[in-house]
């Protein structure tokens, strides 16, 4: 059996994508590469649902988050950062680090952000230049309503920056329709590819802000990346094999169709929820409408360390994720994104039942999670 | 026939390294990954010839160059940047961009840097905090005498930062013995792997400077990377497949032995020089002692555009590099680094003779470059 990666990134990688990386490398300053990079850039626009350019950085998602601060703002500018977890907090840290005047709207982990809170802060503050929001908060599994926040910003000139690193492709995301000026994602989540690339969409408003910014940038300079995009080139040597890999992954996504990809993730989320309920376990995100289709966060049963569950699952060949920061040991997270199907969820629960039994949590009927999932599958053929 | 990449990066990638990337990806927050990353970090110390830590960034070499400026210096500090080409100039740009007080020592392209010039500037300037030098200047093929510059700095507390992105592994490099505080390299040159990773060694002096720096850093924060190095971890998601790939490449390098790797590159340089001479072509770097074993820069024959040579070589299946900046079209560069052997050089010259003939440069005896190379090979069995 292949080992399963049921984590919120990196995810299992499709065979064609893996084999792409084993091919002879091509040089980046060639027509051959330019054609591939142009195709990828087009594919990214399709995935982001945007008519604006999407640039590709060789870095993790955090590099792109940092770059959105240093490329789109100037020191001292006022921004609102909305945080409902670890990655929202990262944006608070980044914006403060670069001397922005940060107004925080923070929520308890596991809760989603409320558009009316943004409306309220905007009514109290003047001269706000930007709003930062996390689409899907990887640390908790909370999905924020980006569309509703975008509506709050309509009619203003405020930059809307959205971290959708783990959101896009497992959850609906409409960059232009939702009035997002700068959306960020990474290669190792819904894109079913290895980590190492980050993608950044830039609206006209974002491009104007970019020209006004007083902060220094070179490697992460959006202007440099945009400047070479139309010729299918990057300002410095890109991670060529990863670019070829993500391009193949995008071809697979286009072939499946983005709506079917989203439906598949929704279904995997439903199956996971059925399994969790059958085992009598508690969701970390209380409100089911706040849960994304990227991962499911589960509270560790009383007296059981979530890290132990993670560790024993690993020994069964199924990698899940533990909790982050204050929730380390208290929750565990089952990723169900990327190249994952219903049978992978069944295997995950087969392993989870075993592990819970080993750890002396026995408050469930053996096989009940598998039965619940299977019933849904067969009734919905 | 496999297409040949005779460029100064990316280079041809050994089969085992390519196959490593086609394997199932592992999660980075696991023991399995930590073991691999620890092994890589050890291997990097072996390659860099240093007892100090070498950190790994997910970025191209330029990202690491920028990071060396923002992590090791504070705004307004005086530094000397020595430039003999495109990549030396990049350091001038970067240091100025971040508000350092830059004293330039620049040389004509194709000339190497002179240690006595550094000595002179140091005698005129006070309070110099750092010196930046390019080991091997990829734009020209010039190899600078890092050891001699290190000697000039002995007895001072000046930080010595060396870009050896294309230098290390095709040319001797001794980080500690040469008094280098911060040496930088990248995955796609001597490391025979795809681009996407950069490596940075940090001496104690560099680590002290790092703590004093007043510039903001997050993704590229050396402190964050150093902080997790001993546990075999990275502060954010690393390019996992590339880390596994470079580790396999390092195993191959260790198996061959670093001295043999260097001897092989020296021999490839010799063979290339014999071929160039046989064809009556002119070296761009006049002084043979200034030439590195990474690549050979050649002046395009009168009336022939170097970019045409590059283009027609590409059609023959042999990728070489053109000139950069002012030398675009005026020179071409034959890379001979990485997983390349003597027969690859022979094929390159077979193609080059053909291409030159097509472009109407016929001032050589057909086959003379192959004969010259072959004579050397057979006499030195």
B338 interfaces chain A, CB cutoff of 8 Å: no
Q: Which tokens is A220 given?
A: 């992460």
A1 interfaces chain B, CB cutoff of 8 Å: no
- Residue B277's pLDDT is 98
User: Which stretch of DSSP H or E encloses residue A299?
Assistant: strand A295-299
What per-residue string of b and e applies to B245-269 under the rule 16 or more CB within 10 Å gives b? bbbbbbbebeeeebeebbebbebbb
- Contact assignment for A24 to B9 by CB distance below 8 Å: no
- Contact assignment for A22 to B22 by CB distance below 8 Å: yes
- Residue B1's pLDDT is 67
B156 interfaces chain A, CB cutoff of 8 Å: no
- Contact assignment for B22 to A25 by CB distance below 8 Å: no
Residue in B closest to A62 by C-alpha: B219
Residue in A closest to B16 by C-alpha: A22
- Contact assignment for B237 to A60 by CB distance below 8 Å: yes
Residue in A closest to B319 by C-alpha: A27
CA B274 to CA B1: how far, in whole Å?
24
CA B228 to CA A145: how far, in whole Å?
35
Does residue A150 contact residue A131 with C-beta atoms inside 8 Å?
no
Interface of A with B in 179-208 (CB under 8 A): 186, 188, 194-196
| Model confidence, pTM | 0.97
B242 interfaces chain A, CB cutoff of 8 Å: yes
A58 interfaces chain B, CB cutoff of 8 Å: yes
CA A96 to CA B216: how far, in whole Å?
10
| Whole-number percent of chain B with pLDDT over 90 | 99
User: For B324-338, what is each residue's pLDDT tens digit?
Assistant: 999 999 999 999 999
User: For B196-229, what is each residue's pLDDT tens digit?
Assistant: 999 999 999 999 999 999 999 999 999 999 999 9
- Contact assignment for A194 to B239 by CB distance below 8 Å: yes
CATH number of B257-379: 3.90.1150.10
- Contact assignment for A196 to B242 by CB distance below 8 Å: yes
User: So what CATH class is A15-255?
Assistant: alpha beta
Nearest CB among B9, B21, B240 relative to A237 is that of: B9
Q: Nearest C-alpha of chain B: how many angstroms from A329?
A: 15
- Contact assignment for B240 to A2 by CB distance below 8 Å: no
- Contact assignment for B62 to A27 by CB distance below 8 Å: no
pLDDT at B119 over 90: yes
User: For B347-369, what is each residue's pLDDT tens digit?
Assistant: 999 999 999 999 999 999 999 99
- Residue A1's pLDDT is 67
- Contact assignment for B22 to A18 by CB distance below 8 Å: yes
Nearest CB among A25, A195, A196 relative to B5 is that of: A25
Rg from Cα positions in chain A: 21
- Residue B2's pLDDT is 74
ipTM: 0.96
Q: Please list the pLDDT of chain A residue by residue as tens digits (381 residues).
A: 678 999 999 999 999 999 999 999 999 999 999 999 999 999 999 999 999 999 999 999 999 999 999 999 999 999 999 999 999 999 999 999 999 999 999 999 999 999 999 999 999 999 999 999 999 999 999 999 999 999 999 999 999 999 999 999 999 999 999 999 999 999 999 999 999 999 999 999 999 999 999 999 999 999 999 999 999 999 999 999 999 999 999 999 999 999 999 999 999 999 999 999 999 999 999 999 999 999 999 999 999 999 999 999 999 999 999 999 999 999 999 999 999 999 999 999 999 999 999 999 999 999 999 999 999 999 998
- Residue A371's pLDDT is 98
B312 neighbourhood in chain A, CB within 8 Å: none
B29 neighbourhood in chain A, CB within 8 Å: 321
User: For A170-219, what is each residue's pLDDT tens digit?
Assistant: 999 999 999 999 999 999 999 999 999 999 999 999 999 999 999 999 99
A9 interfaces chain B, CB cutoff of 8 Å: yes
A156 interfaces chain B, CB cutoff of 8 Å: no
Q: Count CB pairs under 8 A between chains A and B.
A: 161
Residues 6+ apart with CB under 8 A from B360: B304
Rg from Cα positions in chain B: 21
Q: How confident is the model at residue B179 (pLDDT cuts 50, 70, 90)?
A: very high
| Whole-number percent of chain B with pLDDT over 70 | 100
B9 neighbourhood in chain A, CB within 8 Å: 237
Nearest CB among A61, A93, A238 relative to B195 is that of: A238
- Residue A381's pLDDT is 87
User: For A76-105, what is each residue's pLDDT tens digit?
Assistant: 999 999 999 999 999 999 999 999 999 999
Q: Which tokens is A112 given?
A: 């989603």
- Contact assignment for A21 to B241 by CB distance below 8 Å: yes
Show the beta-strand stretches assigned E in B242-380: 282-283, 295-299, 318-319, 321-322, 331-335
Q: How confident is the model at residue B27 (pLDDT cuts 50, 70, 90)?
A: very high
CATH number of A258-379: 3.90.1150.10
Q: How confident is the model at residue B381 (pLDDT cuts 50, 70, 90)?
A: confident
User: For B288-325, what is each residue's pLDDT tens digit?
Assistant: 999 999 999 999 999 999 999 999 999 999 999 999 99
Which alpha helices (DSSP H) does chain A contain, by range?
A: 15-21, 31-48, 61-72, 86-97, 115-124, 146-153, 204-212, 222-229, 240-256, 258-278, 306-315, 342-358, 368-379
Nearest CB among B5, B219, B314 relative to A62 is that of: B219
A194 neighbourhood in chain B, CB within 8 Å: 21, 25, 239-242
CA B165 to CA B11: how far, in whole Å?
13
B63 interfaces chain A, CB cutoff of 8 Å: yes
The domain segmentation of chain A, as residue ranges, is: 15-255, 258-379
- Contact assignment for A219 to B61 by CB distance below 8 Å: no
At A179, give phi and psi (nearest 5°). 65, 40
């Amino acid at each position: 059996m292949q080992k399963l990666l049921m984590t919120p990134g990196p995810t299992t990688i499709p065979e064609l994508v893996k084999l792409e990386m084993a091919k002879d490398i091509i040089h980046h300053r060639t027509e051959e590469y330019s054609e591939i990079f142009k195709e990828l850039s087009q594919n990214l626009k399709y995935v982001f649902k945007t008519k604006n350019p999407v640039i590709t950085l060789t870095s993790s998602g955090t590099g792109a988050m940092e770059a959105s601060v240093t490329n789109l703002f100037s020191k001292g500018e006022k921004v609102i950062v909305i945080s409902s977890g670890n990655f929202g907090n990262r944006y608070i840290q980044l914006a403060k680090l670069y001397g922005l005047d940060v107004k925080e709207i923070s929520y308890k982990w596991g809760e989603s952000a409320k558009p009316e809170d943004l409306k309220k802060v905007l009514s109290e503050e003047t001269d706000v230049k930007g709003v930062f929001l996390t689409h899907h908060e990887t640390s908790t599994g909370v999905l924020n309503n980006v569309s509703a926040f975008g509506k709050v910003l309509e009619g203003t000139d405020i930059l809307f920056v959205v971290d959708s690193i783990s959101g896009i492709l497992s959850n609906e995301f409409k960059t232009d329709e939702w009035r997002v000026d700068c959306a960020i994602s990474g290669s190792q989540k819904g894109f079913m590819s290895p980590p190492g690339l980050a993608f950044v969409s830039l609206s006209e408003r974002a491009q104007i802000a970019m020209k006004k910014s007083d902060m220094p940038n070179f490697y992460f300079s959006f202007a440099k990346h945009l400047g070479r995009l139309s010729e299918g080139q990057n300002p410095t040597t890109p991670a060529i094999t990863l670019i070829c890999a993500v391009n193949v992954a995008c071809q697979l996504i286009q072939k499946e169709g983005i709506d079917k990809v989203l439906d598949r993730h929704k279904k995997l989320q439903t199956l996971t929820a059925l399994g969790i309920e059958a085992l009598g376990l508690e969701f970390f995100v209380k409100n089911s409408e706040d849960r994304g289709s990227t991962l499911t966060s589960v509270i560790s049963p009383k007296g059981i360390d979530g890290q132990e569950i993670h560790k024993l699952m690993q020994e069964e060949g199924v990698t899940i994720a533990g909790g982050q920061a204050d929730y380390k040991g208290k929750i565990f997270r089952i990723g169900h994104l990327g190249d994952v199907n219903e049978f992978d969820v069944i295997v995950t629960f087969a392993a989870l039942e075993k592990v819970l039994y080993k750890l002396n949590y026995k408050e469930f009927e053996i096989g009940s999670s598998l039965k619940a999932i299977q019933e849904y599958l067969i009734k919905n053929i």
